[in-house]
């Protein structure tokens, strides 16, 4: 197959997206795509900064038709923009708001006269499978963001594989996402799933609990909430009344069984998780309360050599080494034992940052928290763990006393630093560079 359709929809009158002013059909979407494609300036790369998920979708497809590659960084910081302009000088930033794009060439999303209208002669365009459709960037949680090239054929397979794995191919749900569409998880689960899973989506990006409830109420059932452990925890803690949710989906960070069970009890919806990475794309899914094992998405394989696990086949681009410690099980299932980079060895004792963070956030009264392993050694030549904790009403001594009952003394944080908030990004992750900056600010170098 040399080309694949932009969308898998068979009905041009089907609803493609929901906006504040109502639904937009597949036909209306295609009309907007062609209208924008005619107006985009000539460039090799499209930095799609649209906040509105529908406008992102229009921009992405219009760029495809023009042969442009979508640049999708996980950050929109000035430093990120400077680096992109250095590496991709032939770019134009597509914007639909007040984003400060520094010195980037900029194109404002136009008012499309075709929005919401249908075109009787519309047909679904086909895109060459080997066309470089997007370059996604890792979050920088373990270092500088790295570029990941994605071809159109693999992206289309990706959306279809998720739809089958989640049972949406036969029963499409309306997608409401709290995560940015530029991020790999949001891109896959609120955009590719719409294109090749037939799932309409809400155009907004609700963040606060009241906004999430309003977004859910604005679309019909069945509804699927695409979120993260960080957003989900805040939503449940807020205690707002929620419209019916039919499926909950989470990714970007480990989801505790406790939070998953609470979410299911509060909503009555199954709590599903996606496992993957920007490098590999999504690889597996599970219902958290059913057990620890993950099931691979259709077509994907995992192969092992020694301690290294490689993802390949299906929608994976080439062979991608994974950063996680994985135990393969029969029937395309596996167990996840944490990231290689998270493993810690202090004085001959081993643990993982994921385990320590789980124990920390399980302390009653702790709202948020994270352990951090500095690059430098302490005065005694031993690297000491630090922990940053959000815990109104608790002292560092109280938290440490509780931790002492949960973890070995060698892994107790020295120091434990109380903060008002952690520097989480829009998907709830904690980039290492931001934690390092917080460490320098609050702890400093060369101190135990």
Half-sphere exposure of 265 (CA within 13 A, CB side): 8
Q: Is residue 447 part of a domain?
A: no
Q: Determine the average pLDDT of the residues in 140-166.
A: 88
**Do 189 and 302 sit in the same domain of this protein?**
yes
Q: CA 353, CA 350: separation in Å to the nearest integer?
A: 10
Residues 376 and 318 both lie in one domain:
no
Can you give 302-349 as a three-state secondary structure string?
EEEECCEEEEECCCCCCCEECCEEEEEECCCEEEEEEEHHHEEEECCE
Tell me the per-residue pLDDT of 57-79, one tens digit each, with 9 for 90 and over: 999 999 999 999 999 987 788 88
- Chain segment 201-229, per-residue pLDDT in tens: 999 999 899 999 999 999 999 999 999 98
Cα atoms found within 13 Å of the Cα of residue 52, Cβ hemisphere only: 15
**pLDDT surpasses 70 at 448:** no
Token output for 387: 């922990």
**What are 286-321's pLDDT values in tens digits?**
999 999 999 999 999 999 998 899 999 999 999 999
Copy the structure tokens of residue 53.
Answer: 């998920």
Asked if residue 322 and residue 353 are part of one domain, the reply reads no
Residue that is last in its domain, among 317, 338, 359: 338
Helices (H), 49-151: 53-65, 78-87
> Same domain, yes or no, for 50 and 128?
yes
Q: Residue 165 is part of a domain; what is its CATH number? A: 3.40.50.12780
Domain with 403 in it: what CATH number? 3.30.300.30
* Each residue's pLDDT tens digit, 390-405: 999 999 999 999 998 8
Domain range enclosing 397: 347-442
At 273, the pLDDT band (50, 70, 90 cuts) reads: very high
Residues 222 and 370 reside in one and the same domain: no
425 plus 323 within the same structural domain:
no
Mean pLDDT to the nearest integer, 330-343: 82
Q: State mean pLDDT over 321-343.
A: 86
pTM of the model: 0.82
248 domain-assigned: yes
Residue 143 is predicted with a pLDDT of: 53
Domain boundary among 293, 311, 338: 338
Number of domains in the chain: 2
Residues 405, 323 share a domain? no
- Average pLDDT of every residue of the chain: 90
Same domain, residue pair 206 and 288: yes
Residue 426 — pLDDT band, cuts 50, 70, 90?
Answer: confident
Structure tokens at 171: 């029963």
């Amino acid at each position: 197959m040399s080309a694949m359709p932009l969308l898998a929809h068979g009905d041009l009158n089907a609803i493609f997206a929901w906006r504040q002013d109502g639904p937009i059909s597949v036909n209306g979407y295609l009309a907007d795509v062609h209208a924008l494609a005619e107006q985009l300036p000539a460039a090799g790369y499209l930095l799609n900064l649209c906040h509105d998920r529908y406008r992102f979708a229009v921009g992405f497809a219009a760029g495809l038709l023009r042969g442009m590659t979508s640049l999708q960084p996980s950050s929109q910081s000035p430093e990120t923009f400077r680096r992109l302009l250095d590496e991709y000088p032939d770019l134009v930033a597509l914007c639909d708001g007040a984003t400060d794009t520094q010195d980037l060439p900029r194109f404002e999303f136009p008012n499309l006269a075709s929005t919401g209208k249908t075109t009787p002669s519309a047909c679904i365009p086909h895109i060459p499978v080997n066309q470089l459709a997007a370059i996604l960037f890792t979050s920088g949680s373990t270092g500088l963001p790295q570029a990941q090239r994605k071809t159109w054929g693999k992206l289309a397979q990706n959306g279809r594989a998720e739809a089958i794995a989640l049972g949406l191919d036969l029963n499409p749900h309306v997608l409401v996402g709290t995560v940015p569409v530029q991020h790999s998880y949001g891109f896959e689960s609120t955009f590719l799933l719409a294109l090749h899973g037939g799932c309409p989506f809400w155009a907004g990006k609700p963040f606060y609990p009241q906004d999430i409830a309003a977004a859910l109420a604005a679309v019909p059932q069945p509804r699927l909430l695409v979120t993260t452990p960080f957003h989900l925890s805040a939503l449940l803690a807020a205690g707002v009344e929620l419209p019916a949710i039919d499926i909950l989906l989470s990714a970007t960070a480990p989801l505790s069984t406790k939070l998953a069970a609470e979410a299911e009890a509060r909503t009555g919806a199954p709590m599903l998780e996606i496992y993957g990475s920007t490098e590999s794309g999504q690889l597996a899914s599970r219902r958290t309360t059913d057990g620890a094992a993950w099931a691979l998405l259709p077509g994907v394989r995992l192969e092992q050599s020694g301690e290294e696990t490689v993802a390949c086949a299906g929608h994976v681009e080439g062979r991608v080494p994974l950063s996680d410690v994985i135990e393969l099980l029969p029937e395309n299932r596996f167990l996840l034992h944490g990231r290689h980079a998270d493993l810690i060895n202090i004085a001959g004792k081993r643990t993982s940052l994921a385990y320590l963070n789980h124990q920390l956030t399980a302390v009653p009264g702790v709202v948020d928290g994270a352990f951090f392993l500095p690059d430098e050694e302490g005065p005694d030549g031993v690297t000491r763990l630090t922990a940053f904790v959000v815990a109104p009403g608790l002292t560092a001594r109280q938290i440490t006393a509780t931790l002492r009952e949960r973890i070995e003394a060698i892994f107790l944080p020295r120091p434990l630093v109380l903060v008002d908030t952690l520097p989480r990004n829009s998907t709830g992750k904690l980039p290492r560079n931001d934690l390092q900056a917080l460490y320098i600010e609050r702890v400093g170098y060369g101190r135990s």
